[in-house]
Structure 1
């Protein structure tokens, strides 16, 4: 069976707990570290898959140190300099990989996000890509879906229930990337617990047949087009898109009497609108002079996506 490496964020233990640290080291060959007040345990485990291996490791660690809380997997985010250091290559080499100049037909993984002004990637994604050119570190790690399931187990103590949520995806036309976004959202509605939970928590977005309505748009769609689609429904729906990650929010078309909406310029895009939602989370938004308005009926849901 394959061996998997895990980096867990832990609590209830410090580097000064010598008995606990020694027990983890002796029995699990685990390494405990601390950076900026966050304790991490790096440990390997074997199993037919990463989820099973993680469950075995977690059970043994909890038995050894009952007071230690294993909170979640550390995503192990890396930037260009980190990738260069781990592979022994130059930053220029890494930049060439990112721009597709060194492995034809196999694009470099999409970044997970940004830290400051720099892009960062999941090391597990990068390492899997590097395996194709013989530069990986030889370690197997959980896939993105396996990591989601492991974190669910750590949080809830039981395997995730894959609920079949009936969703009506209303895909706005006019942008080339919208079908790709819709395909990813369909997958998240089947496999991603956070998205499934979000849909289940908001029954007000269901139609007469009990299907959750999700309006799928591109970040570059005009906000006015989305507002017009919302007005056609006459009830709350989930508006969803993917920028650096998934953004979803229960939103209804509204121009409330006496309200002072945040006015969007006529050419404002969905990306512009999302940026303003972060600044004005409880405000109504409007665009143009056609009484097109929208207001959030819930907190937004945001999480990483491929």
Structure 2
């Protein structure tokens, strides 16, 4: 059984022709969609393949191929009783009785929330991955494709948070081009302080950056002052 994952991406539009050309050239193994401006890409892996690693690698490729894009997180497939009933071909009432423990073996997943309200009350919603696992274990359903578990999606989000961007690659290229190893070491030490949110770290690093603001050989004209932006973004992300 294959595992299908979907990832929400911000900062790109599927109506943009250059973006579509990059997708076709470098990301043609991913399935892209846009609903009400919400852009996602999807893929699937065979049984036994680590879906978290696969999703992380796909996100890394997207960030590198599409500068300005941002990985929002793994998309959660949220379903109501009506959605579950439609997917497995039973009545909505059957799903409702399973959920309330009135029929079936019990142990139906707890809702993750309730939407709506009013005189008729709200509608319970679940993660499809949890309902799917219950249907397989308790009702004998067989699916061709499964969704990542809640734990796997949380792990994906953790990886996405630290996924390297184009700016990260540029910074490493600039840093590796520095001729003074001692200066590079000093910057590394002070930038560690900076990442911890210390104003003293920023004050120490800034003059060093200013002295290295010229073009660096071997970096195709890239200026080392890109590190100012890099460190500023990393500090805000803490």
Query: What interval of TM-score do these two structures reach, taking the shorter chain for normalisation?
Result: 0.5 to 0.7
The structure with more helix, counted as a fraction of residues = 2
Inter-partner Cα distance in structure 1 for 2:98 and 2:33: 33
Within 5 A, what are the aligned runs for 1:10-25? Answer: 10-21=9-20, 23-24=22-23
Q: Which has the higher strand share?
A: 1
Asked if the contact 2:2–2:144 (Cα under 8 Å) also holds between the matched residues in 1, the reply is: no
Residues in 2 aligned to 1:109 and 1:30: alpha-carbon distance in whole angstroms? 30
Q: How many pairs align?
A: 155
Deviation at 1:45, TM superposition (A): 3.8
Higher relative contact order (CA 8 A, sep 6+): 2
Equivalent residue number for residue 231 of structure 1? none
Is 2:67 the counterpart of 1:66?
yes
Kindly indicate whether the alpha-carbon contact (under 8 Å) linking 2:109 and 2:134 is maintained by their aligned counterparts in 1: yes
Q: CA offset at residue 4 of structure 1? A: 2.4
User: Given the alignment, which residue of 112, 127, 135 partners 1:122?
Assistant: 127
1:146 maps to 2:146? no
Shift of 1:140: 2.7
State the distance in 2 between where 1:24 and 1:129 align. 37
- Aligned to 1:125, what secondary structure does the other structure show? helix
Structure 1 residue 137: Cα displacement: 4.0
- Change in 2 beyond 3 A, CA 1:55/1:115: same
Are residues 53 and 138 of structure 1, via their aligned partners in 2, closer, same or farther at CA, if it must alter by over 3 Å? same
Look up the SS of the partner of 2:94 in the other structure: helix
What 5-or-longer segments of structure 1 have no aligned partner? 159-306
- Partners of 1:42 and 1:60 lie apart in 2 by 13
Say if 2:91 is the partner of 1:90. yes
Counterpart contact for 1:24–1:30, Cα < 8 Å: no
* Residue pairs, 1:221-260, within 5 angstroms: none
CA distance in 2: counterparts of 1:131 and 1:18, whole angstroms: 43
Question: Mapping of 1:153-302 within 5 angstroms?
Answer: 153-157=159-163
Structure 1 residue aligned with 2:33: 32
Output the CA distance in 1 between the equivalents of 2:85 and 2:17. Answer: 34
- 2:108 matched residue in structure 1: 108
Partner of 2:28, secondary structure, is helix
Q: Tell whether the 8 Å contact from 1:50 to 1:142 is kept in structure 2 after alignment.
A: yes
Change (3 A) 1:49 1:104: same
Is the contact made by 2:59 and 2:163 (CA closer than 8 Å) also made in structure 1?
Answer: no
Q: What TM-score, normalized by structure 1, do the two folds share?
A: 0.45
Contact 2:112/2:127 (<8 A) preserved: yes
Q: CA RMSD in A?
A: 2.6
The residue number in structure 2 matching 1:44 is: 44
TM-score, normalization: structure 2? 0.56
For 1:24 and 1:100, the matched residues in 2 are separated by 47
Moved more, 126-135 or 42-51: 42-51
Conserved in 2, the CA contact under 8 Å of 1:4 and 1:53? no
Q: CA 1:139–1:6 in structure 2 vs 1: closer, same or farther (change >3 Å)? A: same
For residues 3 and 50 of structure 1, the distance between their equivalents in structure 2, rounded to whole angstroms, comes to: 10
